[in-house]
Amino acid sequence: MSDAHSPRHDAKSHDHRRSTQSASAPPGDVSQLPKGQCRYILTLPELKGHRCGCMGFHHNTSLPGATCYCGHFACFHSPHSIQRTGDDLAVLKKRVKDLEAMLQQKGSYQPESLVCRISDLEETVESNEEESAMQIKALYQNSSAAWEIIEALQERTKTLETYCGLYREQMAATRSELRELYNRQLELMDGEESLEERLHRLEDPGDILPAFPTTPMGSLRMDTR
**According to the model, what pLDDT value does residue 207 have?**
56
What is the predicted pLDDT for the residue at 152?
93
H or E element that contains 160 = helix 86-203
With pLDDT > 70 as the criterion, what percentage of the chain qualifies? 74
What pLDDT, in 10s, does the model give residues 123-176? 889 888 888 889 999 999 999 999 999 999 999 999 999 999 999 999 999 999
pLDDT at position 90 is 84
Rounded CA-CA distance 39/30 in Å is 20
The pLDDT of 71-91, averaged and rounded, is 81
pTM for the structure as a whole: 0.29
DSSP string, 175-188: HHHHHHHHHHHHHH
As a whole number of Å, the end-to-end CA separation of the chain is 208
Kindly tell me the burial class for residue 38, based on how many C-beta atoms sit within 10 Å of its own C-beta (0-12, 13-18, 19 or more): buried
Confidence at residue 109, expressed as pLDDT on a 0 to 100 scale = 57
pLDDT tens digits for range 181-190 = 999 998 888 8
- Parse the chain into domains and list their residue ranges: 17-83
Least confident of 7-11, 77-81, 123-127, 174-178: 7-11
